[in-house]
Structures are given as structure tokens and as C-alpha cells.
Structure 1
Amino acid sequence: MIGIFRTCPSRMQSSSTVRVHGLDTLRALAVSFVVLHHYVLFVSDAPTFGWVGSIGWVGVDLFFALSGYLIGNQIFAAMKSPGGFSLKHFYARRLLRTLPNYWVVLALYFLWPAFRGDAPLLPLWKYASFIQNFALEPGSAFSHSWSLAIEEQFYLLLPAVALIGAACRGSLRLAWTGILLAFIAGMLVRADLWQEMDAHTHKLYFYFKYIYYSSLCRYDELLAGVALALLRNHHPGAWGRLTKHGNLMGLAGLLACGAAFWFFLDDRYGFGITVFGFPLMALGFSLLIVAGVAEGSLLRNLHVPGAGPLALWSYAIYLLHKPVCVMAAGWMAAHGYGPEHALTIVVLLTLSVLTGWLLYRLVETPFMVLRQRWVPGNAARPAGPAPVQGGANPM
């Protein structure tokens, strides 16, 4: 997607395309974490995968950090290019990338009762306008689309803000001040909501409805990714110094993520972790992204078998895995295989990948071909072809 962009389907790749295995690995890790967490949450209701299943929800936050970096880099790089940045082209490319898969899965929820089970659906207009995460009731059908709603809101606002800043001749100092103030604002909002939650009778319900699913509370990782993109495009010296020490950045990222994970596992709904845990996780994931793109780093050069395809299909897998696992678990249970049986686990995880691949091949790929034909880039004026790097595309 950006200066470091997700590779398109294979027939659209050129010989100049270079894959960044580090970003593939991070995206594959993100979708794996989410699938395992949802298996525990909606299928087994047991510590099936140990601490990984319990903390797997952080895969969404890793997706956010990758999206912030990739989309931010795409916008900032295009604004600096000779061709300039086209808001129209950007939105067209985003819609062709995200909507086809989304609408197919949404249609399944509305047209196939077994797909949603007993969970209630929100009004269609909320899903269509990507505001379903606003005060989202826990237990709603297609509830995992809350993160897609936040990403679509991000795709809508970031380029407009960037263009307004450029038109007003905003300084880099102002941009960095805005990012810092936004981080502080997010922490203050969470602190205020936590105080309200503490006085609420149903604390867990309140937490998810007004904090966990809220756009104002969950943009930390997106913002951190944008900060990385700003650094890369407008502070090449500092970016070069960071990426020169890719392995050190990766180690620091692991330590930051490890600390955040430990605190969330210890007291996920406490005041301190609610206010400061997300920025800490944003820092950790950002450092891992730096390690993932740094020349010569272990993470960048790490070629995990299967990570590339899993990263490529991750958006489709994310959309389908939850209802597929829930339906298949019922069928397996009827045949005597419980949710923690090894065969059930293998079957459900395999189905998650296969159905995601099918959605990717039948829906996503044709629209990516059309996008390459109709809107090959974000530039207002076409320039000569340039090599792109493979990485991770945002959901």
C-alpha cells in the first residue's frame, strides 16, 4: 500500500516488486492472534491456546499500527511526488480494496440466518456507513466489524486532514504537536470513561460498549503508525538512524509489547492499563514495524513459510473466520467432537483459512485487478512506474 505496499495478486506483480517478509510476518501474526482469540471467546470458552488465546485480541491493534504506517506513508509519499496526491484516486482505491469483501460477508449475515445464529443484527445503514462501533452492544452479530469501521473512519479523515494541513502550509512542528495532543486526548477520554465505568453496575458491558469499541479510545496504534510514516517521509535522517539499528528496535518492540501484554493479562480492565496500556502497545508495535522494514534486520529477512499467503488473505480471513468457526463447531459437536478436541481445532482453523482464501480469490482478486486497471495509483497525475515493496495491506 504505500511506499511499502501490499503486493497485489500475483498476475499483477512486476519483476520489480520486492516483498518485505517482515511486514508479511507481522500481518500473518496479527490475523493468527485474532483467530485464536475468537476461537477461545466464541467457540471453546476455555484456555484452549493458553495466554496466546487470552491476549489474541491485540492482533487488531497490530493491524491498526500497520494500517496507520502504510496508509500514512502512501499519502505523505504521494503528496511529495511530482504527480501530487489525488483524494479522489485515494478514496476510489480504498473502496475497491475494502468494500467488495465486506459487502459479500454482510450479505451473508442478512440473508443467511444460520450465519448470524441468535445474535441480533444492527440496522443495515449502520454497517453501510461504518458507524456500527458507536456504542456497539456486546454480542451483536458481525461485532468484529467494529475494527473495520474504525479503519474506514481513519481512511476517510487522514488524507483530508493531511491536505488541509498542506493547504494551510502547516509546519512539521505543528503536525508533531497535533499527534502528541491526540495521544494525550485519547488517554484523557479513556480516563474519564473509566471513572464513569467504575460507578456503573455492569462494568464489563460498559467497558466494551464505550471504551473498547470506541473510535476515540482506540486510535493509538493508528496514530503511532502515522507518526512512523511522517518520520519516514519528512525526517529521513532520523528514519535512517532508526532503521540502521533494526534488530535493536525489534528487541525494544518485543519488550514494550511484552510489558503491555503482561499488564493486560494481569488486569485488563484496570485504570492504569486502560489509560496507558494502548499507547505502550502502540510503541511496541511501531518499533516492530521499524524492525520489519529495516535493511538487514532479522525480522525483515525472516521468511516464515506460509506467512506471505496468510498475510495476503488476512482481510478475507478476518471477515469470515468467526461465523465459520461457530457454525462448524456446532456441526463437530453434533458428531461427538467438542471444541477442545484436536480434530475440531484443526478442522475449524483450516476452514478459517480456506474460506478466507475462497473469498480472496472469488471477490477480492477481481476487484484488485479492476483497481489496477482503473486507478493504478494515488497520484493526481500519472508518473513513470516505480518499484513497490510487498508488505501488509490494511483491512
Structure 2
Amino acid sequence: MNRLPGLDLLRAIAIVWVMLFHALRIGTPSREFSIYGWMGVDLFFVLSGFLIGNQLFKSISQRHELNIREFYISRAFRILPAYLVVMSIYFLVPLTQEGRGLQPLWQFLTFSVNLFIDSKYSNTFSHVWSLCVEEHFYVVFPIIAMLFMNRGGAAKVIILSLVIIAFGMYLRSDIWLNELGSGPFVRLYIEKIYYPTYTRLDGLLAGVLLATLKVFRPQLWGATMKHANKILFVGFSGLALAVWIFQNRFGLLGTVIGFPILSFSLAFIVAGASSSKSILGMYSVPGASVIATLAYSLYLTHKSVFHIVRSTIGTQLSSNGYQEFFVYSMAVFLVAIVLYVTVERPFLKLKVQFLAWNSARFQRTSGIST
């Protein structure tokens, strides 16, 4: 698959932004930038919705079918090996646990941590909440896409996506107004609004809407991409508005309209960056592709590595926050490289081999020749 330099750059920005957010306690090069690093997760959501939607819609458009089983196998090879390795280390090696405790093992195995977490007692490895959201999306979306494409096409996908986004706005407002007053506000906000899948689908669906436009309205997409830099301008303007709204991150305004504004703004940025005619997609930024390739391993391990650095040599580094941040960054990238080389990459290669074997086996058993 050809890599798009603009999307690699966005993926690299997203993971670095998230890591900067989690490194705030030791000092980062720009606190004003880092405090909004949680938005990097929303950028990942939009990218995932766009790329997965594009992949599935292309299959439906070109072959009028979708091999859901093959999609699930592909996602399993991509997600599970590195995740299970890191999860096992968390449970077996207490030194790696950066928080107060771990949720039950079954919640990690079923990707339901984001639905049941009690962060008062167990917030270790809690950042996998966003992976849980994506896993739920991977399971349900192919089925919905196939059903709807067989019954009326892109218009129904667009309508359903907008209805779900609108319902999410209503749900978040209802929870904010009625369910956050009986305990620590921020903790309840995180558990009831920020983590659950049913309140955090804006970004994924914004990406899906982009993919719908690209695959099923190619002429409109092509005409729009002629103005890729203008699209980027709209996206960054919307992002600035979202940042302004989220100055009070846990306020009602951001809770209700902030997430869709952020998601659609990021969708404009993703659309613009996907074009080779835009300033983000025109050239490959040195290092961006490498960081993008390591993004998943970085995502899984960075909080644990940060904790280990602080626990072992933090006292020697604490007098210089930037020095500590540098050591932390080097350690995070080293661990991510090891995880990628020893686990991620081998299983990605195995995925290609397995899918090729499975396809050949299917053709033999069904009597299809190529």
C-alpha cells in the first residue's frame, strides 16, 4: 500500500501530541501546545475512520462485496500481538504499572476497559480506552457498511453517521447535566463522557463521511481536492475554534459541540493532507514516516516507559525537567522500536502471508482460477 506523506505526518503529529500531553508533569518544550495533546486521540479517530472506511467502501464499490472475515483477520494480526504482549507485561511486571491499579484482566481481553473503568482505584494502562473505541468500531462498522450499501448506498451511511453524531451530542449533554453532580466531577466526566464508545464516535464517523465522499462521489472529491490548501485552512481555523472552546475542557459547551467541531475540523485537515497538492501532502517530512510507523508501539508503551524512567533515575533528572523529558523520549522510542521489530513487524508480514494463503485456499476449494 502506498503511503501518503501528508497522512504519515498527521499520524506522527498525533502520537507525539499524545505523548507530550502525558509528559506534562515533567515539563515539555511547549506547555501551551501540550495541554491540548488529548486532541491527538481525536486525530487518530478521524484517520482510522477515513482509512478503514476508504478500504471497505472501495471493496464494496469495486467488487460489490465485502469479505468481513478477511477484514477481521487483518485487524487481529495488526492489533492483537503487540497489545497482548504489552498487556501481559503490565500484569506480570509491577514496575511497569504507572497508575493506581489495573482493571480486571477480562476487561482488557474484551476491550471493555473504557466501559467499566473505575479510575479512582485503577487507572493503569487506562490509555487503551481509545483502542477499545476503535475495536468496537472495527467489529460493527463493516457489518453496517455492508448492510447499508446493499440497501441504498452512500446516502444512508451519511444519514446514519450524522444521526449518531447528533445523538452523541444529546447523550453527552444529558450525562453532563444529570449524572456528574454526585462525586468528583472530573473523574466522573472521564468515566461517563470521555471514555465510553457511545459518546466518542464523532471522530471515527467524521472520517467515515470523508471516505464516503471519496469513494462514492469521486468527481466531487476530485474537484474539492484541487483546493486542498483552502481545505486545510478551513480545518485549521476550525481547530483553532475547538481549542478556544476547550479552554474549559470539561465545560458543557465543549462537551456538546466541541467534539463534533474538533472532529470535522480534523477531517478537513485529513482531507487536505491526503492530497499531494497540499502543503502537508506535497513533501515527505524527514522522520515523519518512521514515527508514523512506530505510532502503535509508542501508543502502547509510552506511559509505562515514562513511569519506569521516573521510578529508576527520576531523582537524578528531576532538577532539570527538559533533561528528564529528553531521556524519557529516547527511552520511549527505544522501547517502541524493540516492540515493533520483535512483535509488530513480524506479525504484519505473517498477516500478508496468511491472507494470501487463505485466498489461494478459497480459490482452490471454490474452483476459481486466476
Q: TM-score higher than 0.5 here?
A: yes
Aligned residue in 2 for 1:102: 83
State whether structure 2 residue 104 is matched by structure 1 residue 123.
yes
Instruction: Quote the Cα distance in structure 1 between the aligned partners of 2:204 and 2:358.
Output: 20
The 3-state SS of whatever aligns with 1:369 is helix
Instruction: Quote the Cα distance in structure 2 between the aligned partners of 1:379 and 1:284.
Output: 39
The 3-state SS of whatever aligns with 1:375 is helix
Aligned residue in 1 for 2:323: 343
Which residue, 79, 86, 90 being the options, matches 2:60?
Answer: 79
> How far 1:200 moved relative to its partner?
2.9
Instruction: Quote the Cα distance in structure 2 between the aligned partners of 1:159 and 1:178.
Output: 14
Which residue, 195, 211, 229 being the options, matches 2:177?
Answer: 195
Instruction: Quote the Cα distance in structure 2 between the aligned partners of 1:233 and 1:47.
Output: 41
Q: Which amino acid aligns with 1:176?
A: I
Aligned residue in 2 for 1:9: none
Residue identity (%): 34
State whether structure 2 residue 12 is matched by structure 1 residue 19.
no
Q: Which amino acid aligns with 2:238?
A: A
State whether structure 2 residue 250 is matched by structure 1 residue 250.
no
State whether structure 2 residue 205 is matched by structure 1 residue 223.
yes
Q: Provide Cα deviations, 1:87-139, integer angstroms capped at 9, x if missing partner.
A: 11000000000000000000001110111155211111110010110042225
Mapped contact 1:87–1:378 kept (Cα < 8 A): no
Instruction: Quote the Cα distance in structure 2 between the aligned partners of 1:77 and 1:379.
Output: 18
Instruction: Quote the Cα distance in structure 1 between the aligned partners of 2:22 and 2:65.
Output: 42
Instruction: Quote the Cα distance in structure 1 between the aligned partners of 2:29 and 2:320.
Output: 6
Which residue, 156, 159, 162 being the options, matches 1:180?
Answer: 162
State whether structure 2 residue 317 is matched by structure 1 residue 317.
no
Aligned residue in 2 for 1:151: 134
* Greater per-residue helix proportion: 2
Instruction: Quote the Cα distance in structure 2 between the aligned partners of 1:184 and 1:225.
Output: 16
Instruction: Quote the Cα distance in structure 2 between the aligned partners of 1:202 and 1:149.
Output: 24
TM-score by length of 2: 0.93
Aligned residue in 1 for 2:251: 270
> How far 1:197 moved relative to its partner?
4.1
Relative distance call for 1:98 and 1:184 in structure 2 (3 A) is same
Alignment of 1:35-50 (within 5 A): 35-40=19-24, 43-44=25-26, 49-50=30-31
TM-score by length of 1: 0.87
Q: Which amino acid aligns with 1:203?
A: F
Mapped contact 2:78–2:344 kept (Cα < 8 A): yes
Mapped contact 1:22–1:300 kept (Cα < 8 A): yes
Instruction: Quote the Cα distance in structure 2 between the aligned partners of 1:377 and 1:145.
Output: 32
Aligned residue in 2 for 1:284: 265
Q: Extract unaligned runs of 5+ from structure 1.
A: 6-17, 386-395
Instruction: Quote the Cα distance in structure 1 between the aligned partners of 2:285 and 2:28.
Output: 26
Mapped contact 1:33–1:59 kept (Cα < 8 A): yes
Instruction: Quote the Cα distance in structure 1 between the aligned partners of 2:183 and 2:170.
Output: 22
Relative distance call for 1:37 and 1:364 in structure 2 (3 A) is same
> How far 1:244 moved relative to its partner?
1.2
Relative distance call for 1:75 and 1:185 in structure 2 (3 A) is same
Mapped contact 2:98–2:125 kept (Cα < 8 A): no
Aligned residue in 2 for 1:232: 214
Aligned residue in 2 for 1:329: 310
RMSD over equivalenced CA pairs, Å: 2.3
Mapped contact 1:135–1:213 kept (Cα < 8 A): no
Instruction: Quote the Cα distance in structure 1 between the aligned partners of 2:321 and 2:85.
Output: 31
Aligned residue in 2 for 1:305: 286
Q: Which amino acid aligns with 2:145?
A: A
